[in-house]
């Protein structure tokens, strides 16, 4: 994915990770739109993830990275927004496949389950991959049809 505007959102469990990801992205030419949280104080992840996911669905962002302690809550939350394809990834191969096969536009990270270096490796793999289309396009289209029910 070519550098553009990336949305970032994290709860308190991934607050420090969000700061590291922000610096990493900016060093590579990305503009970062930070949806919070802005301190390590406890916050409910829907309060930061939903605005980020909505901005992604509205076309205001080229991609998004959301995180919480396990990544599970952030993934569930982001995927509630129609048009968003959020993938919780714990291994670089998952992150690459999320882009190549599912055209995931939102990477979900687990702040407590992976180190900063491991999460950056996931981000790097996700950004380096491109959607392959083909048979995968049909599957992604079916996912979007389901959200219009």
Active site residues: 68, 101
CA distance 119 to 91: 9
For residue 99, how far is the Cα from the chain centroid? Answer: 11
Q: Which are the contacts of 104, defined by CB distance < 8 A and separation ≥ 6?
A: 85, 86, 87, 98, 126
For 114, what's the count of Cα atoms within 13 Å in the CB-facing half-sphere? 22
């Amino acid at each position: 994915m070519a550098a553009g505007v990336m949305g970032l959102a994290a709860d308190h469990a991934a607050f420090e990770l969000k700061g590291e990801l922000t610096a990493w992205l900016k060093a590579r030419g990305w503009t970062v739109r930070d949806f919070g949280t802005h301190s390590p104080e406890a916050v409910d992840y829907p309060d930061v993830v939903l605005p980020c996911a909505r901005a992604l669905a509205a076309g205001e962002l080229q991609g998004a990275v959301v995180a919480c302690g396990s990544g599970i809550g952030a993934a569930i939350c982001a995927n509630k927004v129609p048009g968003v394809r959020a993938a919780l990834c714990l291994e670089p191969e998952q992150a690459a496949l999320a882009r190549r096969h599912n055209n995931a536009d939102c990477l979900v990270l687990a702040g407590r389950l992976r180190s900063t270096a491991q999460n950056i490796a996931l981000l790097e793999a996700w950004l380096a991959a491109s959607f392959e289309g083909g048979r995968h396009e049909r599957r992604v289209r079916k996912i979007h049809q389901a959200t219009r029910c």
